[in-house]
């Protein structure tokens, strides 16, 4: 009895200690209990959307699904009902309808040699599945087939400025760490990763012993902060057309690479930009061919297009006598022979023909007249050897080989100096803007779209110099001895400069052969009132069945013509534009009457009788017959969107804050939510276009 009493006292003392201190074996029992009955639920932040200049989506968040199959017979319900794949042949047949795998390969995956395997996946074929495919598979009611959800990035346009827009993806190994955040690894996605990335929130729940949430009023919630949207200067119409032209030329002539950029000559806005090889951002097909954005990351010798800077420098520094004759063909510099592309030359010709003929010897003469020091100062004034600062990652500053007289001479026709595409556009802008150089811009705003204003990158030459160089660029196109006659576009005056740059071989020296060059053209149009600059390069065409100028003109001419025609349409539209009147706090009847008097369409979002919000906002300048959405007091209700354009639907999403999932192209004909349904609490509306 004494022993039992002693043991009892020991237990009593132990219980008293635990009750008083709340600890046992170094564990805080209060925290352990809270942990058992509390749980954190992550509220995922949405990555910002990337838009073009017209509000078209270039990149946005969505969810992707990966399918997997449980094979272990241990996975059953309490009643021993199988939760594993019981009928493998039926499962393989059903999955083969929705996965890019044959029925035989799926069955093979479902029957591994190792019988102890718990579950299997289906490689890349079973990953990145859309919600619609997931639902179709689920409708087959396949036992043992499950899905893992993960955030992914949707690029609805496929091959569309892919290296410029870039991609965002979940880093490898992030699933093991529990993170599913998307990270930009290329292009704008990478450059603005910090702004695009949101901050996840959380919900701290109090649960009962069965895991159900209790005490809702005591739950702690921190809202997620979505990433900021990014707006680009790209014009989808121009970009799509440029992609199609490049693809056609690339397929026919098979160059090692191509670059093409269309820029607004006055503002520096990049309206279209692409490269070859490229990739489909949606499927990732071709992404392994070239990872770099060659528009900014690649330095190369520009060849004769740099003669724009050489001629500008000679005229501006007072070392140009257009009527002076020189002997073309070749010239010796430090004992080395420099030749014209037409090695026999054209005999004794005046300097005013050197540029249009693209004479290397003529440019060397200009460099020698200026002197190495003066010529180098203009190289720097034109922004070479430093980054333009365009909002794209990895821009190279370029290099210059300039120690010997021979180096100094060869730079006059674009050798011995490395540049990037944006630097060449920036240089050409000085000719289009009376000597003022304009910085190329790809960004139209973070958080909200802003009006683009030109950013001056310097004034390397006088206005009078720019006009003389412009005339020489016109001679390239219109003189019978000009190298760019193929770039004439009926109805428009074109100024251009062609280029043929040698390529350094792996063992030093330049490659030989008819196609071992970087061929290029830089053009301004219209020459008498510059609106666009188009710069194209093509490296080593593998199937050179036409001249370089003929090949490049198949991109240059239709692209520049399309841009100029759009300008005509825009100027015509501008004369008809309407400034939206303010109708806030007015009755719906008066508001509609006022806007309809401006030849605008109106739609009410709500059942009230007073306007509380309008989109487009008051003061916005839009075209006649555009739709103005009016939100009324009272509950928000779903309008009839039949016949609406994609742009109208995006306005609805912006006004209501509800995600509008748009499928197809054309105009709306089906909506998932009935007309006049309440919008309160609705998270997504699906609209089909045709």
Contact by Cβ (8 Å): 383, 365: no
Contact by Cβ (8 Å): 481, 349: no
What's the CA angle centered on 405, arms 403 and 408, to 5 degrees? 75
CA atoms within 13 A on the CB side of 145: 25
Contact by Cβ (8 Å): 516, 503: yes
- Residue 389's Cβ-count burial label (10 Å; 0-12, 13-18, 19+) is middle
275 bridge partner residues: 259
236, 257, 274, 304: which is the annotated catalytic residue? 304
What single DSSP character describes residue 229? P
304 is known as an active-site residue:
yes
- Residue 7's Cβ-count burial label (10 Å; 0-12, 13-18, 19+) is exposed
Q: How far apart are CA 93 and CA 85, in angstroms?
A: 13
| β pairing state of 627-632 and 601-605 | parallel
Contact by Cβ (8 Å): 205, 217: no
Reading the block at residue 184, the tokens are 């930009």
Distances (CA, A) of 652 to 536, 628, 631: 40, 10, 10
CA atoms within 13 A on the CB side of 489: 23
Contact by Cβ (8 Å): 143, 72: no
Contact by Cβ (8 Å): 150, 182: no
- Helix or strand holding residue 549 (H, E): helix 548-574
Number of H helices, E strands in the chain: 21, 35
DSSP helix/strand/coil, 630: strand
Could you write out the three-class secondary structure of 465-532?
Answer: HHHHHHHHHHHHHHCCCCCCHHHCECCECCEEEEEEEECECCCCCECCCCCCEEEEEEEEECCCCCCE
Give me the active site residues, please: 304
């Amino acid at each position: 009895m004494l022993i039992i009493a002693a043991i009892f006292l020991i237990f009593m003392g132990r219980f008293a200690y635990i009750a008083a201190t709340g600890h046992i074996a170094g564990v805080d029992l209060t925290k352990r209990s809270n942990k058992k009955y509390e749980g954190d639920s992550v509220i995922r932040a949405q990555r910002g959307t990337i838009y073009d200049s017209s509000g078209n989506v270039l990149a946005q968040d969505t969810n992707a699904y990966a399918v997997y199959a449980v094979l272990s017979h241990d996975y059953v319900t309490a009643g021993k009902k199988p939760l594993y794949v019981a009928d493998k042949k039926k499962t393989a047949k059903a999955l083969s309808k929705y996965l890019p795998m044959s029925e035989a390969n799926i069955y093979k995956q479902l029957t591994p040699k190792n019988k102890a395997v718990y579950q299997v996946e289906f490689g890349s074929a079973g990953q990145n599945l859309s919600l619609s495919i997931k639902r179709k598979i689920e409708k087959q009611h396949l036992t043992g087939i499950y899905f893992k959800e993960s955030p992914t990035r949707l690029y609805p346009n496929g091959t569309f400025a892919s290296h410029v827009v870039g991609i965002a993806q979940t880093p490898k190994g992030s699933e093991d760490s529990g993170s599913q955040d998307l990270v930009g690894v290329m292009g704008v996605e990478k450059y603005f990763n910090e702004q695009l990335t949101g901050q996840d929130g959380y919900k701290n729940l109090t649960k009962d012993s069965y895991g159900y949430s209790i005490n809702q009023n005591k739950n702690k919630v921190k809202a997620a902060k979505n990433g900021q949207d990014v707006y680009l200067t790209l014009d989808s119409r121009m970009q799509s057309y440029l992609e199609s032209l490049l693809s056609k030329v690339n397929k026919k002539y098979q160059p090692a690479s191509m670059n093409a950029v269309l820029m607004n000559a006055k503002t520096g806005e990049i309206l279209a930009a692409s490269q070859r090889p490229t990739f489909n951002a949606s499927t990732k097909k071709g992404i392994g061919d070239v990872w770099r954005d060659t528009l900014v990351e690649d330095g190369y010798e520009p060849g004769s297009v740099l003669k724009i800077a050489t001629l500008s420098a000679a005229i501006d520094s007072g070392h140009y006598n257009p009527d002076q004759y020189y002997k073309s063909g070749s010239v010796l510099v430090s004992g080395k022979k420099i030749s014209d592309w037409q090695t026999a030359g054209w005999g004794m010709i005046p300097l005013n023909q050197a540029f249009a003929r693209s004479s290397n010897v003529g440019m060397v003469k200009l460099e020698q007249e200026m002197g190495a020091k003066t010529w180098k100062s203009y190289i720097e004034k034109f922004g070479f050897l430093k980054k333009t600062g365009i909002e794209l990652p990895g821009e190279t500053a370029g290099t210059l080989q300039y120690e010997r007289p021979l180096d100094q001479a060869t730079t006059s026709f674009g050798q011995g100096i490395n540049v990037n595409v944006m630097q060449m556009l920036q240089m050409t802008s000085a000719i289009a803007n009376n000597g003022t150089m304009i910085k190329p811009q790809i960004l139209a705003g973070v958080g909200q779209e802003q009006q683009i204003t030109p950013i001056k990158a310097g004034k390397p030459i006088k206005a009078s110099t720019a006009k003389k160089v412009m005339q020489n660029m016109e001679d390239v196109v219109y003189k019978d001895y000009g190298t760019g006659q193929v770039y004439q576009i009926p109805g428009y005056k074109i100024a251009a400069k062609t280029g043929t740059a040698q390529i350094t071989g792996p063992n030093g020296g330049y490659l030989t052969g008819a196609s071992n060059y970087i061929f290029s053209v830089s053009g301004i149009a219209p020459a008498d009132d510059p609106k666009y600059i188009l710069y194209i390069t093509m490296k080593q065409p593998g199937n050179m069945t036409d001249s370089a100028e003929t090949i490049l003109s198949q991109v240059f001419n239709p692209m520049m013509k399309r841009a100029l025609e759009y300008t005509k349409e825009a100027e015509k539209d501008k004369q008809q534009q309407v400034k939206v009147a303010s109708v806030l706090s007015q009755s719906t009847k008066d508001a509609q009457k006022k806007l309809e008097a401006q030849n605008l369409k109106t739609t009410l979002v709500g059942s009230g009788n007073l306007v509380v919000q309008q989109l487009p906002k008051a003061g916005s300048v839009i075209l006649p017959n555009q739709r103005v959405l009016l939100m009324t007091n009272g509950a928000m209700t779903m309008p009839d969107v039949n016949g609406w354009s994609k742009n109208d639907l995006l306005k609805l999403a912006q006004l209501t804050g509800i995600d509008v999932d748009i499928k197809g192209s054309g105009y709306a004909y089906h909506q998932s939510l009935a007309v006049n349904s309440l919008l309160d609490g609705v998270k997504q509306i699906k609209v089909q276009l045709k």
